[in-house]
Amino acid sequence: MYKLSKYNYFVEYNQRIICFNGLTGIIFSVSKEEYKQLIILWDDLVLFHIQYNSVFNRFKEWGFIVDDEINEIDFVKFKNKQSVFLDRLYRLIIIPTEECVFNCWYCFNHQDGTGHMQKDVQNRIKKHIKFMIEKEKITGLFLDWFGGEPLMCFDKVVYPIAKFALEQSEQHRLPYRHHITTNAYLITPEMVRKMKEIKLNSFQITIDGDEKRHNAIRNVNGRPSFARIMENIELLCESMTDIQIILRLNYDEKTLLISDMKKVFTQIPEKYRQSIFLDFQRVWQTIKKDKQVNNPIRQDLYKYCNSIGYNPILTSSFQIGRSLRCYADRFYHTVINFNGKIYRCAANMKAEDGFMNENGIIEWNHKSLVQMFGNSTFENNKCLNCKHLPICVGPCIQKTKNKNKEIECVLNGAEITPEQFVIGIYEQTCIKK
pLDDT tens per residue across span 137-164:
999 999 999 999 999 999 999 999 999 9
Answer yes or no: is pLDDT of 245 > 80: yes
Of the candidates 96, 89, 166, which has an alpha carbon nearest to the alpha carbon of residue 132?
89
363, 74 contact by CB (below 8 A) = no
Answer yes or no: is pLDDT of 109 > 70: no
What percent of the chain is modeled with pLDDT above 70? 96
Of the candidates 347, 282, 349, which has an alpha carbon nearest to the alpha carbon of residue 316?
282
Sign of CA dihedral 348, 352, 353, 358: positive
The whole-number average pLDDT for the span 118-134 is 98
- For the entire predicted model, the pTM comes to 0.93
pLDDT of 292 reads 53
Distance of CA 221 to the CA centre of its chain: 31
Amino acid at 331: F
Of the candidates 390, 379, 396, 359, which has an alpha carbon nearest to the alpha carbon of residue 124?
359
The whole-number average pLDDT for the span 380-394 is 95
The average confidence (pLDDT) of the chain is 93
pLDDT of 217 reads 94
DSSP output for 380-414: SHHHHT-TTHHHH--S-HHHHSSTTSPPPPGGGG-
pLDDT of 105 reads 84
The whole-number average pLDDT for the span 28-34 is 97
The whole-number average pLDDT for the span 406-422 is 87
The whole-number average pLDDT for the span 352-361 is 96
Determine the number of helices (DSSP H) and then strands (DSSP E) in the chain.
17, 17
pLDDT of 291 reads 52
For residue 227, the surrounding DSSP H or E stretch is helix 226-239
What percent of the chain is modeled with pLDDT above 90? 81
HSE value, Cβ hemisphere, 13 Å, CA-based, for 37: 7
Sign of CA dihedral 103, 108, 113, 115: negative
